[in-house]
Structures are given as structure tokens and as C-alpha cells.
């Protein structure tokens, strides 16, 4: 089964895409290791605890939810670990969605100045995005993911079997990140998502494995070329500039991350028609819309979104950067776009529905 090497200056490791991979944790533990702490949410644990039957472990429950992705929760988990006998030889297994991967990874990054983590993502979004690449962290009141650390895992175990219990809306939210991968780097993946939509939405096993493996390969390649987002890694932000603004504008409660990214990709596609002379805009838009719908955009004001862009974390020295398609499979990073053009592109997608 496919395995993709992620090579970063500090650590190289494999992202394994394989049904049943969750049961292979012991293959990736260091030769000498102490206690294993599984960081997870109660819902995921109730559904999938059986996967851990073969290895001794302690469970650390994280309540889940974006509002709990905070330093205070990390501290509480660290106290629980210590009370259960954790030391420098302990290993964290982050078993859950992206929030668990980020929070559990960050816990491992700072517990006793850093212990190893194995990432075991259980949402589609976390499998193709959050768990690969070593970004860990929590939110501040002032913004998302503002406190964090790069902490590359020992391995990422991606098991499509766990997706059987994932709610349909969460599954589609993850699919948008895979569409993103197709647009930024792989025209074949894009065609597969376009032509194979019925099989993808029906979760046909072979096609699900293929799209996950392709997206993970792309993420592994991009992170290996640029761990810290100095250059190539920025292409992964396609749809995220406006997507983040939409999430913040709606208090992180109306849209799932992937849904906000879907909106952001549509805006970036309209923008690209004017800025990069993109010819494939209609195809990109059609595929994003076909994987919808996303929740209603009623009441969202273009002006407010445009204002938020200026305060986005990705703003570098006052310039908003947009990742824009040049054609399907290729993007470019552009800054200094006229505010009015940005506003018109947001308005075009808002009014088009
Ligand atoms: N580190 C990165 O590079 C990176 C990249 C993208 C996103 N993220 C982060 O990921 C987070 C979003 O992750 P998410 O979309 O996975 O949300 P999430 O972690 O909240 O998971 C969504 C919901 O699904 C439940 N769930 C998880 N697996 C399940 C399963 N197999 N069956 C049934 N229910 C299951 C969760 O408990 C939760 O209620 C955000 O905080 C975002 O910032 C990080
Ligand atoms: Zn994303």
C-alpha cells in the first residue's frame, strides 16, 4: 500500500495510506519507549477504541471543538499525563480529527521540551491535510493557530476504514481540500474528482484510497520541499485567504473549514480570471459547486470579508497574498492586487450563490 516519505531538515518519516493502518502503531514506535498516551475525543474513542486493543496505552481525553483548541486544554492534558506517569520516553498518539492532531501534536511538542508523536487522523480533512506536515498548535482569542510549533511526527497512519463513521458533511468538507490539491498540482486528480464524483460521494473504497493517496503524496512533496512555508508550501493556501476570512466573519460556527475553503477557492478562481488569465475557471467552479452545497451565505457582507483579509496571518508586510490558478494543476502566488478587484470577486461569488 502507498507510503509517502516526508523529508524535513529535522526528521524524515512516512505517511502510510493503508486500510487497517491504525493497528500498526507498534511498527512505528521507537525501539525504547515509555508509556503511550492516546490523545482523542470521546466520540472517536467510542467508535474506534478497538484499534488499540493490542497495545498498552493510557487515554487522554480532549473535549473537541475549535473553542477548546486552547493552551489551557494542553496544560490540563499535560497534568493528566504526569499524573499517569509520563516521562521523556513517553509517546503521544494523536487519534482524531484535525483539532486533535493539532492539539495533541502541540502537547507532544512542548511536553518536557518535546516527546515523539504519531499522528493517526480520523477525518478526511485531517488525513489529507492537518496530520501531514508537522504544523501543530492552538488558538488565541485574537486568532486561529497563533500559538504553535513545528513538530514532525514519527509517522502518520492514514486508515480509510475509520471514515465509515464520519458524518457526510465532514466527509465533503475534506473533499474540498482534495479538490484544492488537484487544482494546485495535479490535473489527473482533478479529472478523477470531476468524472468520478458519484463514486467519490458513495465512498467507493478504491476511489477513496486513490484520492487520499494522491492528496497525501502532494502534501508530502510540498512539505518536503518547504517545511516552513517560505515558498512552495504557500500553494497549499489556495482558497484559504478568503476562506479564513469567512470562517472568522461567521465566528467559526457556520462553516466547516473545508466549506469555507470551497468558498475561498471560488473567489480565487474568479480573481484568477482577471489576474492570471485563467481559462479553466468554469471547470474549477463547476467541480467545487458539484461537491456542495455549503451552508447558506445569506447575510455575509463582501465588505466585511475584504476588511478581514488585511488582518489575515498570511498578510506579509501589509500585502495580502493570493494563490491563484494559472491552469488546472498549476498556481502562482500574487500580491498587490487592487482592493476593488478583490471586492468585486467576492461579490460575484456571494451573489452567484
Ligand atoms: N496542522 C495543519 O497543517 C492543519 C491543516 C488543516 C487544518 N488544520 C486544523 O484542523 C482543524 C479541523 O479539523 P477537522 O475538520 O478534522 O475537524 P475536527 O477535528 O473538529 O473533527 C470534526 C468532527 O468529527 C469528529 N470525528 C473525527 N473523526 C471521526 C470519525 N472517524 N467518525 C466520526 N466522527 C469523527 C470529531 O470528533 C469532530 O466532532 C482546524 O482546527 C484546523 O485549524 C490543521
Ligand atoms: Zn485547509
Q: What is the DSSP letter of 124?
A: H
Measure the CA–CA gap between 1 and 20, rounded to whole angstroms. 11
Weakest mean pLDDT among 10-24, 43-57, 226-240, 303-317: 303-317
List the one residue out of 29, 6, 33 whose CA is nearest residue 17: 6
Q: Given a cut of 70, is residue 314 above it in pLDDT?
A: no
Distance CA 121, CA 157 (A): 7
Question: Is the pLDDT assigned to residue 315 strictly greater than 60?
Answer: no
For ligand 1, residues with CB inside 6 Å are 41, 43-44, 47, 64, 66, 69, 96-100, 102, 122-123, 125-126, 129-130, 133, 135, 144-145, 162, 165-166, 170, 257
Predicted local confidence at residue 170, as pLDDT: 98
Q: Tell me which residue has its CA closest to atom 18 in ligand 1.
A: 97
- How many whole angstroms separate alpha carbon 155 and alpha carbon 22? 11
Q: Tell me if 125 sits within 8 A of 90, measured CB to CB.
A: no
Model pLDDT for residues 145-159, shown as the tens digit of each residue: 999 999 999 999 999
Nearest CA residue ID for atom 11, ligand 1: 98
Tell me, in angstroms, the distance from the centre of ligand 1 to residue 129's CA: 10
Q: Residue 107 in contact with residue 39, Cβ under 8 Å? A: yes
Please name the residue whose Cα sits nearest to atom 3 of ligand 1.
130
Quote the DSSP letter at residue 65.
Answer: S
Comparison of pLDDT for 163 and 232, the residue scoring more: 163
- Quote the CA–CA distance of 272 and 275 in Å, as a whole number: 5
* Per-residue pLDDT at 327 exceeds 90: yes
Q: Which atom of ligand 1 is nearest to the CA of 256?
A: 15
The grid coordinates listed for 271 are 480573481
The closest-lying atom of ligand 1 relative to the alpha carbon of residue 100 is 19
Ligand nearest to the CA of 143: 1
3-state SS track over 85-105? CCCCCCEEEEEECHHHHHHHH
Query: Which element (helix H / strand E) includes 331?
Result: strand 330-335
pLDDT in tens, 181-223: 999 999 999 999 999 999 999 999 999 999 999 999 999 999 9
Length of the chain: 353
Model confidence at 1, pLDDT cuts 50, 70, 90, reads low
The pLDDT, as a whole number, for residue 231 is: 85
- Distance CA(291)–CA(258), nearest Å, equals 11
Ligand nearest to the CA of 149: 1
Helix or strand (DSSP H, E) at 275: helix 257-275
What do you get for the CA distance between the two ends of the chain, in Å? Answer: 41
What does the block give as the cell for 336? 498587490
Per-residue pLDDT of 222-258, as tens digits, reads: 999 988 888 889 999 999 999 999 999 999 999 999 9
What is the reported pLDDT for 53?
92
Q: Answer whether residue 319 shows pLDDT above 60.
A: yes
pTM of the model: 0.96
pLDDT of amino acid 142: 85
Angle between helices 168-185 and 205-225 (to 10 degrees): 50
Per-residue pLDDT, averaged over 333-340, amounts to: 93
Distance (angstroms) between ligand 1 centre and the Cα of 97 equals: 3
Tens digit of each residue's pLDDT (9 = 90 or more) over 55-108: 999 999 999 999 999 999 999 999 999 999 999 999 999 999 999 999 999 999
- Mutate which of 49, 62, 96 for ligand 1 pocket (most atoms within 8 A of beta carbon): 96
- Specify the pLDDT at position 294: 96
Residue nearest to atom 2 of ligand 1 (CA): 130
Distance 129 CA to ligand 2 centre (A): 7
Q: For residue range 108-143, list pLDDT tens digits in order.
A: 999 999 999 999 999 999 999 999 999 999 999 988
Of all ligands present, the nearest one to the C-alpha of 69 is 1
User: Which ligand 1 atom lies nearest to the CA of residue 174?
Assistant: 15
- Ligand with minimal distance to 129 CA: 1
Q: Grade residue 310 by pLDDT with cuts at 50, 70 and 90.
A: confident
- Indicate which residue's Cα is closest to atom 36 of ligand 1: 97
Question: Residue whose CA is closest, atom 30 of ligand 1?
Answer: 166
Q: Is the pLDDT of residue 37 over 60?
A: yes
Query: Does residue 40 surpass a pLDDT of 90?
Result: yes
What positions carry a catalytic annotation? 113, 135, 177, 219, 229, 233, 237, 240, 244, 257
Amino acid at each position: 500500500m502507498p507510503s509517502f516519505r516526508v523529508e524535513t531538515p529535522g526528521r524524515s518519516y512516512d505517511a502510510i495510506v493503508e486500510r487497517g493502518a491504525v493497528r500498526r502503531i507498534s511498527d512505528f514506535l521507537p525501539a525504547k519507549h515509555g508509556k503511550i498516551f492516546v490523545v482523542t475525543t470521546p466520540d472517536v474513542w467510542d467508535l474506534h477504541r478497538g484499534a488499540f486493543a493490542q497495545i498498552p496505552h493510557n487515554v487522554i481525553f480532549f473535549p473537541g471543538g475549535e473553542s477548546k483548541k486552547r493552551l489551557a486544554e494542553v496544560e490540563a492534558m499535560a497534568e493528566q499525563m504526569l499524573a499517569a506517569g509520563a516521562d521523556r520516553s513517553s509517546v503521544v498518539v494523536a487519534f482524531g480529527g484535525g483539532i486533535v492532531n493539532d492539539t495533541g501534536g502541540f502537547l507532544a511538542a512542548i511536553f518536557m521540551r518535546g516527546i515523539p508523536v504519531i499522528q493517526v487522523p480520523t477525518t478526511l480533512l485531517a488525513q489529507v491535510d492537518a496530520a501531514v506536515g508537522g504544523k501543530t498548535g492552538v488558538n488565541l482569542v485574537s486568532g486561529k493557530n497563533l500559538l504553535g510549533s513545528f513538530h514532525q511526527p514519527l509517522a502518520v497512519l492514514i486508515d480509510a476504514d475509520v471514515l465509515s463513521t464520519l458524518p457526510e458533511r465532514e466527509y465533503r468538507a475534506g473533499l474540498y481540500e482534495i479538490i484544492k490539491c488537484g487544482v494546485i498540482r495535479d490535473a489527473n486528480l482533478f479529472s478523477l474528482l470531476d468524472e468520478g464524483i458519484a463514486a467519490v460521494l458513495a465512498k467507493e473504497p478504491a476511489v477513496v484510497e486513490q484520492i487520499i493517496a494522491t492528496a497525501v503524496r502532494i502534501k508530502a512533496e510540498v512539505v518536503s520541499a518547504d517545511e516552513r512555508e517560505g515558498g512552495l508550501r504557500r500553494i497549499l493556501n489556495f482558497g484559504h485567504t478568503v476562506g479564513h476570512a469567512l470562517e472568522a466573519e461567521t465566528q467559526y460556527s457556520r462553516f466547516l473549514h473545508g466549506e469555507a475553503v470551497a468558498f475561498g477557492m471560488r473567489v480565487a478562481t474568479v480573481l484568477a480570471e482577471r489576474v492570471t488569465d485563467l481559462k479553466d475557471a468554469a471547470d474549477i467552479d463547476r467541480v467545487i459547486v458539484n461537491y456542495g452545497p455549503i451552508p447558506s451565505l445569506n447575510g455575509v457582507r463582501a465588505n466585511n470579508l475584504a476588511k478581514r483579509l488585511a488582518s489575515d496571518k498570511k498578510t506579509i508586510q501589509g500585502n495580502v497574498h493570493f494563490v491563484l490558478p494559472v491552469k488546472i494543476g498549476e498556481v502562482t502566488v500574487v500580491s498587490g492586487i487592487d482592493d476593488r478587484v478583490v471586492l468585486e470577486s467576492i461579490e460575484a461569488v456571494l451573489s452567484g450563490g
